[in-house]
Amino acid sequence: MGWGDIYKRRVRVFTMALIVYLDYKGVQQREKWTSKSRQAALWEKAHERNAKRVLNLIIEMEGLWVKLGQYMSTRADVLPAAYIRLLKQLQDSLPPRPLEEVYGTIQKELGKSMDELFADFVNEPLATASIAQVHRATLLNGLEVVVKVQHDGIKTIILEDLKNAKSIVDWIAWAEPQYNFNPMIDEWCKEAPKELDFNHEAENTRTVAKNLGCRNQYDGNMSANRVDVLIPDVIQSTEKVLVLEYMDGIRLNDLESLDAYGVDKQKLVEEITRAYAHQIYVDGFFNGDPHPGNFLVSKESPHRPILLDFGLTKKLSSTIKQALAKMFLASAEGDHVALLSAFAEMGLKLRLDIPEQAMEVTTVFFRATTPANEYHKTMKSLADQRDRNMKVIQEKMNLDKKEMKRFNPVDAFPGDIVIFGRVLNLLRGLSSTMNVRIVYMDIMRPFAESVLSGYISKGPSLNDRWIFDSPVHSDVESKLRQLLIEMGNNDKILGIQVCAYKDGEAIIDTAAGVLGKYDPRPVQPDSLFPVFSVTKGITAGMIHWLVDNGQLNLEENVATIWPAFRSNGKDVIKVHHVLNHTSGLHNAMGGIAQEDPLLMLDWDGCLNRICQSIPETEPGKEQFYHYLSFGWLCGGIIEHASGKKFQEILEEAIVRPLHIEGELYVGIPPGVESRLAALTVDTAELSKISALANRADLPSTFQPQQIAQLATTLPVAFNTLNVRRAIIPAANGHVSARALARYYAALADGGKIPPPHSSASKPVLGSHPHIPKLSSSQKPPIKNRKCIGRRTQATSPSVSTTNSYEKVSSHEDFDANEGRNTNSESSSGGDDSSSRIGNNLRTHVARKVYKNPRIIDEFLGTGEYENLALPGESFGLGFKRFSSKDGSSIAFGHSGMGGSTGFCDVTNNFSVAVTLNKMSFGGVTGKIVQLVCSELNIPVPDDFLRFAVEQSGPDEQLSMGRPIIN
């Protein structure tokens, strides 16, 4: 091909592109002046006219443009019918090359004359495609074969077309930055030339056939991940000639013949989809060109798909294969954390923090296919969704229309997923052409799960690193690790952390397992676990801190602090009623989960709902667990009493004094996603609780049946980032066990801050100084009011934060190799001002969190505070009282749904915390607490003792009667 031909080729392509573009712009203008009844016909004529132009140009140009036409011909889900009807002939019906050229290539490549090679050679080609044409033949030994012969000079044409395509894409990226297809064309430029070597295709064919376990005879073996397809045997190959076994089949686009043979098209396309799921997820080696011309269907029952043409294949590394599986399963589960982790592992980077939009786009990517006749509806839905997403980005980035036009939210697009995306779109188009509906989430899921099961299901018996490699602090920790290994081998633990303090020093700090069902990264000491109602113990500590600092009085009416709370007879409810679960508002938020769980994300809306609620019982008379309302009752009191945001008080009262920055949040900030554990449910224990009778001590909206339902639905909700980021002060704590244990170690010692946590734990506790984004509500005004009976005490010498200091990170914080934040919360993304502020704050920390010498009595509602708590009940003032058989110790704390817990034994100056992500109802936690306490000769609280020994029959039901949920 001379330079003149190259120039003419370029001019023809760009001229045709301009003509088609101007034609459609003209139709857009004419549509404005055309009646609605004639608009459809106007567009149909335009599609027919331009589809013919495109087809004629492709036939004239051949080469790469045929590949493009083949791809377009499969997208019946998004392209008008005229394009599909005309372009589908490009799949295998191009004008054939002269026989002289075909014979010459065969004889030159195989080194023999036609008579020395074949007993018979059919001159009429079976098919002619972009790179080669295929003839049927019979070898001298009688074997029937097909001979694939590469077009003469096609290599030069393909390479030149790639350059032209690259130029067009570069121009589009400059003119319309949001349509930057460079990653796709770059990957194509890298992979397409491989199709020009038929030795490469021969080896690929053998590899895929071996991977799929293809057999010529149907054996009826259909295991979960077994596929039933056929692939021809390779007989001989050179660079430009490929000889394959002949298989008699029906063309996939010959719908009439398929119907005549009684082929089940739905089952056929499902099996093709399964074959590709196997290639991608199981083998990591897949054909990148599944257009209809590359398939046949066997004529004999059970009409198996015959896979052809393995010139364009893609090999995935083990890391990318896992990441693609994780992306798929994260999309199926709505797990934002696993999705962002998958993005990081495959090298996909976004320019801003848009997890909800990322999940939405991924879900669309794996959506079920639609028939061709729904393409208008599909296109409108996709366009509307894109407009919504871009509007969110525009508002988030504060961009004007001109800036938005040039903004691309993707910072880095990995080449490895380009061919993957192309395959998925080709399969989608294939199913639309066949007029069937394929649910990818159902068909591909077993294959994706099999990829990760080999890593996630590697319990302690198979994974010598299941226990995170950290120093052993004591003999009891050694014994605990043996127990964790035992339970891990019995599939009772997915991921877990255990930390314990004795006499102010850490004696246990163990992490084990993985971060999630679809996230095989190891749990580390600074991983963050959602702990549900464990959060209540933290929120209660904030209330007591305000009391300790003279900003609140336990006997004060809530309505005095929070005027809007006064309505509906709530003016007599006092602060201690709220802490003691005796306010009568135990069902105040009870219907929110059934009505709309996302209402919990609206801080101001939930506070307003509390204000409008009506007490069901007289305040102070009956104790019912305030499972949801407790948090917002306390949250409203905290913000109105302090005049500060909830998170400001959390930082000031607890996080900074205890040096646990970055490991205790109520509502996570952006930037910590890489450390989050994802929840799953222990279905065996769930089945037990659903059969229990009602409990008189629980609200009517929080009985075993509702608990079982919540346990099923909450993991899905709390694995999404919009829920994790919300301020839900009764349920949305995200903590490490070592931060939680340190908190209770301080409470056990009357508020005295323990010595620094063991430096043997890596990273060091508190090495994530992080001032979170404060988003709970608008800052309430500081009230100038006098609280009668309030103890007059000096304010704790802590420096409060304001909304001015916040760090907002994005997915770029992920390091896929280490599974950690590389930008890290320990810095502020290049601006060290907030780091300096964090360091200065540390220098102002008091030695005690609480100054009241009788603070333990205050927590428990005993001693001089006895009249503030209902006698003989399980709750003190914000904390669960833990009793033991011998009654020899004073213990309190709070557990959460799923089994996480934190508590302290004041008598023995002991605290322990357990965080886990496989939600159970006490079995795992109970055995851990029983072992640790027994080894230390500390009484085991009754709440945990009943789980110490495996039980069965009626006794088991008795032990499950009070699962660890409060």
Based on the fold, state whether residues 118 and 11 are members of the same structural domain: no
Start-end of H helices in 62-197: 64-73, 81-87, 99-110, 114-117, 154-175, 182-191
pLDDT band at 21 (very low <50, low <70, confident <90, very high): confident
- Binned at pLDDT 50, 70 and 90, residue 329 comes out as confident
Q: pLDDT > 70: what percent of the chain?
A: 72
Residue with the bigger pLDDT between 800 and 309: it is 309
Q: Which of 819, 820, 818, 839 is nearest to 828 (CA)?
A: 839
Can you tell me which residue has the tokens 């907002």?
808
**Does a structural domain hold residue 759?**
yes
Residue 18 lies in a domain: yes
Three-state DSSP at 802 gives coil
Both structure tokens of 218: 């149907």
113 and 172 share one domain: no
Q: Which residue has the higher pLDDT, 954 or 42?
A: 42
What tokens appear for 838 in the block? 């964090």
Residue 587 shares a structural domain with residue 600: yes
943 in catalytic set: no
pLDDT of 146 above 90: yes
At 562, the pLDDT band (50, 70, 90 cuts) reads very high
More confident residue, 764 or 453: 764
Catalytic residue among 289, 335, 526, 548: 289
Say what the pLDDT of residue 576 is. 97
- Same structural domain for residues 19 and 139? no
- The first and second tokens of residue 8, run together, are 């003419």
Comparing 912 with 462, which gets the higher pLDDT? 912
Would you state the structure tokens that stand for residue 344, as one six-digit string?
Answer: 């990081």
Binned at pLDDT 50, 70 and 90, residue 407 comes out as low
**Which residues constitute the domain of residue 138?**
99-152
Domain count, the chain: 3
Q: Once rounded to an integer, what is the mean pLDDT over residues 165-170?
A: 72
Q: Is 305 left (phi over 0), alpha (psi -120 to 50) or beta?
A: beta
- A 10 A CB-CB count for 491 gives 12
- Does some domain include residue 176? yes
The pLDDT tens digits for 95-110 are 888 999 999 999 999 9
CB 350 within 8 A of CB 811: yes
pLDDT score recorded for residue 751: 95
Q: Are 129 and 45 in a shared domain?
A: no
Answer whether residue 319 is part of any domain.
Answer: no
Q: List C-alpha distances in Å: 871 to 485, 579, 580, 924.
A: 42, 14, 10, 31
Average pLDDT over residues 472-501: 95
Q: What is the mean pLDDT of the chain?
A: 79
**In sequence order, what are the residues at sequence separation of 6 or more whose Cβ sits closer than 8 angstroms to the Cβ of residue 324?**
280, 281, 316, 342, 346, 417, 420, 448
Q: How far apart are CA 929 and CA 899, in angstroms?
A: 11
Q: Give yes or no for a contact between 227 and 344, defined as CB atoms under 8 angstroms apart.
A: no
- How far apart are the C-alpha atoms of 932 and 926, rounded to whole Å? 10
Separation of alpha carbons 726 and 722, rounded Å: 6
Q: For residue 615, is pLDDT > 50? A: yes
Among the listed ranges 36-50, 176-190, 261-275, 421-435, which one has the minimum average pLDDT value?
Answer: 176-190
Q: What residue type is 862 in one-letter code?
A: T
Ramachandran angles phi, psi of 508, nearest 5°: -140, 135
Residue 965 · residue 896 · CB < 8 Å: yes
Instruction: Name the more confident of 813 and 206.
Output: 206
d(Cα 278, Cα 289) in Å, to the nearest integer? 15
| Cα 492 from Cα 513, distance rounded (Å) | 11
Coil/strand/helix, residue 102: helix
Q: Is the domain of 66 the same as that of 131?
A: no
**Which of 34-48, 90-104, 480-494 is least confident?**
90-104
Q: What is the DSSP code (8-state) at residue 147?
A: E
| 8 A C-beta contact, residue 911 and residue 501 | yes
Q: Is the pLDDT of residue 408 over 80?
A: no
Q: How far apart are CA 937 and CA 759, in angstroms?
A: 26
**CA-to-CA distance for 617 and 799, rounded, in angstroms?**
41
The span from the CA of 895 to the CA of 962, in Å, is: 12
CA distance 435 to 507: 64
Residue 748's alpha-carbon distances to 365, 417, 745, 752, in angstroms, are 52, 53, 5, 8
Q: How confident is the model at residue 414 (pLDDT cuts 50, 70, 90)?
A: low
Mean per-residue pLDDT, 9-30: 83
Residue 690 in any domain: the answer is yes
The pLDDT value recorded for residue 75 is: 58
Q: Which residues pair with 285 in a beta bridge?
A: 315
Whose tokens are 């080696």? That residue is 285
Please give the backbone phi and psi of residue 338, each rounded to the nearest 5 degrees, phi first: -65, -35
Q: Please report which confidence band the pLDDT of residue 127 belongs to, taking 50, 70 and 90 as the band edges.
A: confident
Q: State whether 600 and 673 are in the same domain.
A: yes
Contacts of 259 (CB under 8 A, 6+ apart): none
Is residue 47 located within the same domain as residue 107? no
Q: Which two tokens stand for residue 545?
A: 């801190």
User: Helix and strand tally (H, E) in the chain?
Assistant: 36, 27
Which of 667-676, 764-773, 794-803 comes out lowest in average pLDDT? 794-803
Residue 326: which pLDDT band, with cuts at 50, 70 and 90?
Answer: confident
Q: How far is CA 543 from CA 552, 633, 659, 818, in A?
A: 8, 11, 20, 39
Tell me which residue of 927, 956, 961 sits closest to 944, measured CA to CA.
927
What are the backbone angles phi and psi of residue 133, rounded to the nearest 5°? -125, 155
Q: What is the pLDDT of residue 174?
A: 66
Task: Label residue 552 by pLDDT band (50, 70, 90).
Answer: very high
Q: Does the structure show a pLDDT above 50 at 785? A: no
Which of 13-17, 358-362, 561-565 holds the top average pLDDT?
561-565
Residue at 688 is within a domain: yes
Specify whether the CB–CB gap between 389 and 360 falls below 8 A. Answer: yes
**447 pLDDT above the threshold of 80:** yes
Structure tokens at 798: 């802590």
Rounded Cα distance, 138 and 117, in Å: 9
Mean pLDDT is lowest, of 489-493, 649-653, 961-965, for 961-965
Distance CA 339, CA 355 (A): 9
Angle between helices 445-456 and 265-277 (to 10 degrees): 30
- CA distances to 661, 808, 824 from 829, rounded to whole Å, are 17, 9, 8
Q: Which residue has the tokens 């990653």?
A: 183
pLDDT digits (tens, 9 = 90+) for 843-884: 434 489 999 999 999 999 999 999 999 998 999 999 999 988
Q: Can you tell me the distance from the alpha carbon of 541 to that of 557, in angstroms, rounded to the nearest whole number?
A: 19
Mark whether 625 and 558 lie in a shared domain.
yes
- What secondary structure does DSSP assign to 569-621, as a single string? TTTT-BHHHHHTT-SS-TTTTTTHHHH-GGGGG-HHHHHHHHHH---SS-TTT
| Contact status, residue 350 vs residue 324, Cβ threshold 8 Å | no
The gap from C-alpha 810 to its chain's centroid, in whole angstroms, comes to: 15
| Pair 12, 145 in one domain | no
Nearest to 510 by CA among 491, 485, 490: 485
Question: What's the Rg (C-alpha) of the chain?
Answer: 34
Question: Hey, which of 218-222, 699-703, 812-816 has the most confident mean pLDDT?
Answer: 699-703
Q: How far, in Å, are 361, 518, 645 from residue 698 at the CA level?
A: 41, 34, 31
Measure CA 686 to chain center: 24
285 pLDDT exceeds 80?
yes
pLDDT of residue 811: 31
Q: Are residues 146 and 160 in the same domain?
A: no
The verdict on 3 and 115 lying in the same domain is no
**C-beta of residue 253 within 8 angstroms of C-beta of residue 84:** no
Tell me, what's the pLDDT at 306? 94
What number of other Cβ atoms are within 10 A of residue 347's Cβ?
A: 16
- DSSP per-residue codes, 459-519: -TTT-TTSB------SHHHHHHHHHHHHHHHTT--SEEEEEEEETTEEEEEEEEEEEETTE
The pTM of this model reads 0.71
420-429, 697-706, 782-791: segment of lowest average pLDDT: 782-791
Pairing, β 891-895 against β 880-882: antiparallel
What is the Cα–Cα distance from 561 to 783, expressed in whole angstroms?
8
Residue 377 domain flag: no
Domain assignment of residue 886, yes or no: yes
Residue 478 has pLDDT above 60, yes or no: yes
Question: Residue 555 belongs to a domain with what CATH number?
Answer: 3.40.710.10
| Phi and psi torsions of 532, nearest 5° | 50, -125
